[in-house]
Every structure is written in C-alpha cells, then in structure tokens.
C-alpha cells in the first residue's frame, strides 16, 4: 500500500485508527484503504475503501457487497473491524 500509489503519482501513508484523523484525511479529498478483520465486512479478511462521510457516518465501498456499500457506517460500528488504514491522495 505504500509503493504502488507512487507509480500513479499519488501519496500513501499509514494512519491511526482514529475518527478525527480519518475525517481529516477525507477532508483533504484522500481515500482511505482499510484492511479489515472478520466482522461486519468479512468472515476471513478483506479490504474496503472509505471515500467520504456525512452526518450519518462514513461512506464505504465494499467490493464484496453493494448492500453494505449503500449504508452509512458510524465509527463505533467499524472501529473494531479495521486492522490498518492507508490514506491515498495527491
């Protein structure tokens, strides 16, 4: 997650699992790539993309589920699912 974005002219950095920091990165128009453990999104392990947020929660693209991608997720709902987060942007 650190090297490949550079080939496309993007920056990538690991960030802490923290609601304020996540929103700050999204406010910079960065995407958050999240490695998730078994929980709301998978039974084995998986990646999701957080691309925004509003008053209802985080907006997520889950490549395994259109249904879950259409939901808003609060930080409380997803914080234990996330193993690692990388912020990708220009």
Q: What pLDDT was estimated at residue 5?
A: 78
Count the helices and strands in the chain (H runs, E runs): 4, 6
Task: Return the beta strands (E) in 7-81 as ranges.
Answer: 11-15, 31-36, 46-54, 57-61, 72-73
87: Cα within 13 Å, side-chain hemisphere: 18
- Using CA atoms, how far residue 6 sits from 1, 9, 11, 27, 89, in Å, is 10, 5, 6, 21, 10
Residue ranges in the chain modelled with pLDDT below 50? none
**Dist. CA 51–CA 66, nearest whole Å:** 15
pLDDT at residue 3, as a whole number: 77
Whole-structure pTM value? 0.93
């Amino acid at each position: 997650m650190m090297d490949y974005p550079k080939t496309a002219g993007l920056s990538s950095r690991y960030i802490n699992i923290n609601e304020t920091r996540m929103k700050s990165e999204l406010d910079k128009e960065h995407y958050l790539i999240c490695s998730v453990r078994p929980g709301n999104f998978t039974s084995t392990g998986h990646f999701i993309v957080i691309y925004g947020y509003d008053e209802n929660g985080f907006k997520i693209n889950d490549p395994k589920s259109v249904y879950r991608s259409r939901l808003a997720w609060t930080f409380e709902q997803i914080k234990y699912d996330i193993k690692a987060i990388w912020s990708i942007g220009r």
